[in-house]
Amino acid sequence: MNKIKGVFKKKNVIVTGGAGFIGSHICEILTKDENARVICIDNLITGTEMNIDRLLQSQDFKFIRHDITEPIDLSKFPELAPFEIEFAGIQEIYNCATPTSYKEAKKFTDETVLTNSIGVKNVLDLAKKYNAKMVHLSSSAIYGDPPPEDKHFSEDYWGFVNPVSERASYDEGKRFSETLCKTYYDAYNVKVTIARVFATYGPHMIMDEGRHVPDFITSAIDNKDIVIYGDKETTTSFCYIKDMVEGLMKLVESKNLGPFNIGTDEEYKLADIAQKVIELTGSKSKIKFEKSLEGMHVRGLPNIKKIKDETGWFALVKFDEGLKETIDYMRSVKSRYEQEGLWNNSTLDRKE
């Protein structure tokens, strides 16, 4: 186990993409740990400080606005001095950084492909330098469409992805990022584990970006039509963010490169989810069906036997419970999101 040097009792943990959806929840859990100090690194292309503003008051949490495609030299950030990284080191890294846009496949293509290549290399170099344990968040997108004989993806399925498609910077980028992890694992003995993340939902998600649950909820609260990109039979799986983070935090203790599927293997029709959102919000919304977003794959389900065997993890939060918590959160932040232009309005632009 990577021990903290000297007399330091708190571990130093880096979360890249820490102001994004999954990363901000990891930061939140770690900041509650009296034995951890958290360094959140994000360039805020698709993340937002609103996701971490409550954490900024903690002396054990530091936010660094930085693009991981640029070299990451922690000594150049004076605000990190209290963490005494030169002496205490870095013990864990969660790489959650990936800018992307569901609705507009070409919106962040260059940022996405560079983050999944140069950015991942820079993070792996940090793990190598500090002998830190690392979890790299890959994606179910690396599989492409499921094979016709089985809609469940197992980790030994190599996938079927178009390297020059509209979404190749994400899909193939994630595949290449796994190759980088494998290379550093073999060549430099970097303690990295690959997590292939399947559909996840909960508070802090980007809205009006083609992501089912937050878009359904915002439309329902505003009594607008709920749009499903697909037909009445379109299905997917959903893992609540609390379960997802617990699984990722178990994987950081693994000595196995993986990859590990992480998500739920329960299948839901999007039309049923939309109807449930309407009922829970008391909305007057109607459900509309539109053609699938360009380049999106048929949604498969994860075979999660491997992560169960490795860590004992499986999702516990029932979908209805997670959905209610997400609705309550989104209602509570509606006015603030509207002020920031993040409610039912695609305002994600490139930030210089």
Tokens at residue 69, please?
């495609």
Q: What's the pLDDT tens digit per position in 119-153?
A: 999 999 999 999 999 999 999 999 988 777 778 89
Taking 60 as the threshold, does the pLDDT of residue 155 lie above it?
yes
Taking 70 as the threshold, does the pLDDT of residue 351 lie above it?
no
Alpha carbon distance 87, 14 (integer Å): 16
What is the DSSP annotation of 60-92?
Answer: TEEEEE--TTS---GGG-GGGGGG-HHHH---E
**Structure pTM?**
0.92
Tokens at residue 87, please?
């002496």
Taking 90 as the threshold, does the pLDDT of residue 85 lie above it?
yes
Task: Give all domains of the chain, ordered by start, each with its CATH number.
Answer: 11-201+238-264+294-316 (3.40.50.720)
Q: What's the pLDDT tens digit per position in 181-234?
A: 999 999 999 999 999 999 999 999 877 666 789 999 999 999 999 988 878 888
pLDDT at 298: 65
User: Is 229 annotated in the active site?
Assistant: no
Taking 60 as the threshold, does the pLDDT of residue 165 lie above it?
yes
Taking 70 as the threshold, does the pLDDT of residue 260 lie above it?
yes
Contacts of 230 (CB under 8 A, 6+ apart): 270, 289, 292
Percent of the chain with pLDDT over 90: 72
Tokens at residue 344, please?
């039912």
Q: From the candidates 94, 102, 170, 201, give the one annotated as an active-site residue.
A: 170
Alpha carbon distance 240, 343 (integer Å): 21
